[in-house]
């Protein structure tokens, strides 16, 4: 009788110990029920990275849109529903970028979980940009605010406020991480502004395949000549290609930019037809390096893209190349590949 009772007590004690020891475990498995930190679901990798920088060790961040996929046509797989049902906060860009994911979140989320559309919060409707790939009649504004350092800081501020509301005990961590992010993003913006002075006069013209730099261009005084990708994200029609070829010739565009995410035979054709150099290595949502590397981050991505653009347009990206991409906090977010 006594032995049995001791046996039961010992077993109960072991269960308690097991529960405690898994609480601080760093095996970053989202299904780990022992991890009591808030679970934050995010969508595209630049936003996942900003959220991870602000969260540090205080919250778990798990992205939804795999890197290198077209986020504009992305439909979440059924297994994303499980993440959304466990998440304590869902952070999306909004501005109509991730409607299928928002629908899935609304169906599956916990009652207390908020879905926060960061871009929709920070961008007044009067400042929406509609353009080549995002025509007004389709009702979807250009959603790419995060490529502009000033808006990236606003994104980080929204994320800090949301995490602080969810988890006030970590308020000072979130505030400190935000301050570091703000400093890094400011430094990046200053480096772009300095390095673009080295681009020959009249050359700050951007023709890209994917239309991801509209807000950046407006703030930094660049001209977006066009984007090749039509609003249905298929290839442009022959008459649209012919129009762009004429425009590239008329405006003496020296370099046109493609990206790894959207390899484009059409852009190559425009390059051949106009004599403009085709630089195909921009990375849209695909962070450099591998998850866990310092450069696998919003800052690493933007440093790379703007350095590539400045040198592609005939300038010298001295300040950009001198930026040290240092991790802000432990970088343990989950980035689906």
Tell me which residues touch Zn ion (CB under 5 A): 212
Closest CA to 201 of 224, 221, 228: 221
Say if residues 207 and 83 touch (Cβ distance below 8 Å).
no
How far does Cα 245 stand from its chain's mean position? 31
Closest CA to 205 of 319, 56, 284, 314: 314
Instruction: State in angstroms the smallest separation of the CB of 117 from Zn ion.
Output: 16
Nearer CB in complex with Zn ion: 86/93: 93
Instruction: State in angstroms the smallest separation of the CB of 159 from Zn ion.
Output: 19
Nearer CB in complex with Zn ion: 6/233: 233
Nearer CB in complex with Zn ion: 105/212: 212
Nearer CB in complex with Zn ion: 134/222: 134
Instruction: State in angstroms the smallest separation of the CB of 110 from Zn ion.
Output: 29
Contacts with 263 (C-beta within 8 Å, 6 or more apart), sequence order: 280
- Which burial class, exposed, middle or buried, applies to 275 when counting CB atoms under 10 A from its CB (0-12, 13-18, 19+)? exposed
The CA distance from 313 to 205, in Å, is 8
Closest CA to 53 of 337, 256, 245, 328: 328
Instruction: State in angstroms the smallest separation of the CB of 151 from Zn ion.
Output: 14
Say if residues 241 and 258 touch (Cβ distance below 8 Å).
no
Contacts with 33 (C-beta within 8 Å, 6 or more apart), sequence order: none
Residues composing the chain: 337
221: tokens are 């005084």
Instruction: State in angstroms the smallest separation of the CB of 72 from Zn ion.
Output: 6
Q: Closest residue to Zn ion, Cβ-based?
A: 212
Instruction: State in angstroms the smallest separation of the CB of 129 from Zn ion.
Output: 13
The CA distance from 52 to 185, in Å, is 15
Nearer CB in complex with Zn ion: 192/212: 212
Nearer CB in complex with Zn ion: 147/184: 147
Nearer CB in complex with Zn ion: 56/143: 143
57 conformational bin, left if phi > 0, alpha if psi -120 to 50, beta if neither: alpha
Instruction: State in angstroms the smallest separation of the CB of 257 from Zn ion.
Output: 14
Tell me which residue has tokens 């001295």. Answer: 318
């Amino acid at each position: 009788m006594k032995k049995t009772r001791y046996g039961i007590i010992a077993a109960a004690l072991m269960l308690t110990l097991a529960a405690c020891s898994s609480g601080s475990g760093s095996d970053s498995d989202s299904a780990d029920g022992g991890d009591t930190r808030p679970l934050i679901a995010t969508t595209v990798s630049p936003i996942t990275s900003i959220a991870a920088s602000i969260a540090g060790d205080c919250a778990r961040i798990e992205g939804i849109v795999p890197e290198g996929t077209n986020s504009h046509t992305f439909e979440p797989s059924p297994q994303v529903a499980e993440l959304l049902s466990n998440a304590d906060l869902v952070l999306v860009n909004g501005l109509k970028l991730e409607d299928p994911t928002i629908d899935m979140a609304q169906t599956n989320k916990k009652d207390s979980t908020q879905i926060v559309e960061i871009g929709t919060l920070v961008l007044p409707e009067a400042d929406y940009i509609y353009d080549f790939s995002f025509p007004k009649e389709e009702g979807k504004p250009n959603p790419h605010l995060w490529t502009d350092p000033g808006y990236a800081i606003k994104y980080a501020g929204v994320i800090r406020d949301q995490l602080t509301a969810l988890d006030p005990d970590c308020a000072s961590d979130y505030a400190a991480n935000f301050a570091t992010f703000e400093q890094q993003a400011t430094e990046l913006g200053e480096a772009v502004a300095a390095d673009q002075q080295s681009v020959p006069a009249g050359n700050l013209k951007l023709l890209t395949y994917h239309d991801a730099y509209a807000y950046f261009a407006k703030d930094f005084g660049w001209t977006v000549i066009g984007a090749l990708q039509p609003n249905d994200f298929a290839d442009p029609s022959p008459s649209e290609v012919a129009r762009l070829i004429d425009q590239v010739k008329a405006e003496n565009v020296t370099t046109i930019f493609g990206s790894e995410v959207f390899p484009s035979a059409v852009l190559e054709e425009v390059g051949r037809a106009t004599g403009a150099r085709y630089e195909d290595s921009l990375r849209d949502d695909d962070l450099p390096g591998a998850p866990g590397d310092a450069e696998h981050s919003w800052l690493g991505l933007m440093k790379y893209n703007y350095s590539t653009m400045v040198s592609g347009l005939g300038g010298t990206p001295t300040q950009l190349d001198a930026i040290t991409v240092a991790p802000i906090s432990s970088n343990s977010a989950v980035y689906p590949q």
